[in-house]
Amino acid sequence: MTATREIYWNISNVWLMYVLFVPAAAAFAYGFYRHIRTWGATLPADRHGRVGERLLGLAKYVFGQARIHGAGRAPTLRHWYAGAFHGLFFFGFIGLFLGTLVVMVHEDFGLHIMQGDFYLWFQSLAVDLCGLFAIVGLTMALARRLFFKPARLENTERDWFNAPVLLIILCTGFTLEGLRFAATNDPYASWSPVGLIASRALAAIVPAEQIRPLHASLWWFHLVTVLGLLAALPYTKLRHVFTAPLNIYFRPLTARGAVLKPLDLETAESFGVSKLEQFSLKSLMDLDACTECGRCQDACPAYASGKPLSPKKIIFDLRDLLHEKRDADGELTAPATVPDLIGEDALWACTTCMACMEACPVFIEHVPKIVDMRRYLVMEEGRFPDSVQQSMRSLESRGHPFPGNTTGRLDWTKGLDVRVLREGESAEYLYWVGCATALNARNHSTARSLVSILNEAGVDFGILGEDEACTGDSARRVGNEFLFQQMARQNIATLESRSVQKIITTCPHCLNSLKNEYADFGTNFEVVHHSQLLADLVASGRFKPQGEEAQSVTFHDPCYLGRYNGVFDEPRDVIAAVPGTSMIEMERHREGSFCCGSGGGRMWMEEPVEQRVSNLRARQALATGAEVVGVGCPFCMMMVEEAVNTEKGSRDVRVRDIAELLRGPVS
């Protein structure tokens, strides 16, 4: 069987279509040329390689839409709804686009490929259904905007342009198909069910003598609308159809914990970012890739606690400034000071938890932008909260960020068999205790439980004792890159003097610095969190759990352990190994976990009780009904335990590190 159709039935002067296409294509090309000129000239070197992995990312995140359905947290009905309508019109328009290309190749290039079954199954049935899917998806999107809009979405004038225009294009397309069927009695009309329904409806209301002129005029209207949308696309939200895949392709493939890049302090003319043109190409590309979905804001703990920070608003404000300050050729002019645009209160509210980045469907990098602006405020302007200044002075003079602290780094070891490694000595593992464990009395129990387990399991380890200093994590997050690099080099020299190769730590912040960030200074340490080593010791039978039995536990995923370093299963494996223990997950867990509020230097900043992120997290934990809240971070221990004690009322709910759960109390 051979099937053909009259593509330009009833249409004359088809050549005019290509004449009209030229200015539309020129406007389209010029629009994206301006965007590309604005982004800058080069990408960082680490964004070019691993092409295969980047292409697989396009397949997964663009065509597979892996982050649309509730990225970074358990999908809700709203997430599934958004994913459904986005998928319907995304794949619907892909089908329609391919169908249009086939028509062009068949009719205008003279390569007659619409023959037989291909014509019936693809060009008739599949394309017809794709158009229907696109209409359903757009209708669902409009219904959400009109009747049950999530708080994270904003309705602006530009939001009422794209969907209606696309609906007009789709509906006129089906109307044209229906008019053609009504006039020609196409024998294959039944293979286009939506077009067939349209033809029967139109035949009942349009006089026969009016079908041809109506079809001709509507065809040109449809064409002009399509070309108009093409010309306008780079200047509307729809540009993300092209910029989002670019952003996904150039996403960081390094460890998430290495997202902050070191400054060259010797050659840099300025520190941090105060102007748009100081952002990297990828940072500016982020602004044009934003789909305005608001999921970053929805995930942000600072925003949820009432602080003046919205990751969405930061991207919006920077994007609007980007578009305002560029000239006709896309060059940036009249630069503005971006930290002042965003506001210091907003910048200091960030916990650097990266929940925003985990939730973003197009891999926008919010946290590096915030830290870059903090770097400018701290290193160029000397503007940061008084309490942070005190912690930074303590770091400089005492090697830890706890001003006024009188506890010694070895106080927690009293009565325990712990070897302090001197220069030239080594062990299989160095236990990096960390300031928040060694210098906080509550966290001494965690260290003592861990050391007891290591000794019983026969693990060869030692500590640095008084020679250990802060890794500089807080200094880097608040923007004091100079102090961070100074401490990093000091610590690296200390570790190399002990020939250290493998490090275990109870602090995810130390884990991230030692494992991911010190690598920029030439190190190659094998660094593990204590949950990882404990899980191995239990699985291999080297340690038998001795903790409390018959208790329900919910685990709080530390941001720097989970989202930053991908460690989710091992803490749960440790908890599951405790006899009689049952796990109850919080609504926000694993990649979607909710911050305790101490990251990003927030540990050293004062905040009103009603705005404490830790209290929100405590309520989420208490809502599970668990008897124990498990943690795997000394900062989380301090924040969550205080908040649980404030929020629990008369309930008996305890907060325990996983080492305490596994070993029990150590006197």
CA dist 667 and 662 (Å) reads 15
3-state secondary structure 146-161: HHCCCCCCCCCCCHHH
What is the pLDDT at residue 116? Answer: 66
**Distance (Å, whole) CA 626 – CA 644:** 12
Q: Would you say residue 8 has pLDDT above 80? A: no
Q: Which domains does the chain have, with CATH numbers?
A: 76-248 (1.20.950), 265-380 (1.10.1060.10), 390-663 (no CATH)
Where do the H-state alpha helices sit in 74-126? 77-103, 116-118
Task: Give yes or no for a contact between 562 and 531, defined as CB atoms under 8 angstroms apart.
Answer: no
Q: What is the pLDDT of residues 373-430, one digit of tens each?
A: 999 999 999 888 888 889 999 999 999 999 888 899 999 999 898 999 999 888 999 9
pLDDT band per the 50, 70, 90 thresholds, residue 517: very high
Burial of 444 (0-12, 13-18, 19+ CB in 10 A): buried
Q: For the segment 103-119, what is each residue's pLDDT rounded down to a tens digit?
A: 777 666 667 766 666 66
Closest residue by Cα to residue 515 from 500, 504, 525, 507: 525
Distance (Å, whole) CA 166 – CA 172: 10
Average pLDDT on 82-87 reads: 80
More confident residue, 211 or 120: 211
The answer on pLDDT for 45 being more than 70 is no
Report the C-alpha gap between 284 and 634 in whole angstroms. Answer: 36
Strand order in the sheet with 628-631: 582-583, 552-555, 628-631, 654-657
The arithmetic mean of pLDDT across residues 204-230, rounded, is 90
Phi, psi of 650 (to 5 degrees): -90, 0
Give the whole-angstrom CA distance, residue 160 versus residue 574.
52
Residue 2 has pLDDT above 60, yes or no: no
CA 210 to chain centre: 54
Task: Tell me the sheet residues that pair with 332.
Answer: 326
Mean of pLDDT over the chain: 88
3-state secondary structure of 350: coil
Q: How many CA atoms lie within 13 A of 87 on its CB side?
A: 14
- DSSP state, residue 87: H
Query: Is the model more confident about 495 or about 606?
Result: 495
- Within 8 A by CB and 6+ apart from 593, the residues are 355, 556, 557, 558, 559, 562, 563, 586
The residues, ordered by sequence, that sit 6+ positions from 639 with a Cβ below 8 Å of its Cβ are 596, 597, 598, 603, 613, 614, 617
Least confident window among 144-153, 226-235, 458-467, 566-575: 144-153
Do 464 and 494 touch, CB atoms closer than 8 A?
Answer: yes
Tokens of 65: 């839409």
What is the C-alpha to C-alpha distance for residues 631 and 622, in angstroms, rounded to an integer? 14
Which ranges constitute the DSSP H helices of 497-612?
508-512, 530-539, 569-577
How does pLDDT run across 150-160, given as a tens digit for each residue?
Answer: 777 777 777 77
pLDDT, tens digit, for every residue of 133-190? 999 988 888 888 878 777 777 777 777 778 888 889 999 988 988 888 888 877 777 8
How far apart are the C-alpha atoms of 247 and 283, rounded to whole Å?
A: 9
Encoded amino acid at 576, one letter: A
Provide the 8-state DSSP code for 326: B
> By the 8 A CB rule, do 653 and 626 touch?
yes
- Enclosing H/E stretch for 654: strand 654-657
pLDDT in tens, 434-481: 999 999 999 999 999 999 999 999 999 999 999 999 999 999 999 999
Distance, in Å, from the CA atom of 634 to the CA atom of 437, rounded to the nearest integer, reads 6
The three-state secondary structure class of 489 is helix
Give the model's confidence band at 342: pLDDT under 50 very low, under 70 low, under 90 confident, else very high: very high
Report residue 396 as tokens: 């400089």
- Residue 70, pLDDT score: 60
Query: H or E element: which one contains 526?
Result: strand 526-529
283 pLDDT higher than 80: yes
Q: Which of 499, 305, 469 is nearest to 400 (CA)?
A: 469
Question: Is residue 71 pLDDT above 60, yes or no?
Answer: no
pTM of the model: 0.89
Query: pLDDT category, 285, cuts 50, 70, 90?
Result: very high
Show the tokens assigned to 136. 């359903």
Q: For the packed helices 634-647 and 613-622, what is the interaxial angle rounded to 10 degrees?
A: 70
| Cβ-Cβ contacts under 8 Å for 564 (sequence gap 6 or more) | 256, 257, 354, 508, 512, 516
> Look-up: residue for tokens 């690296």?
492
Distance (Å, whole) CA 431 – CA 504: 5
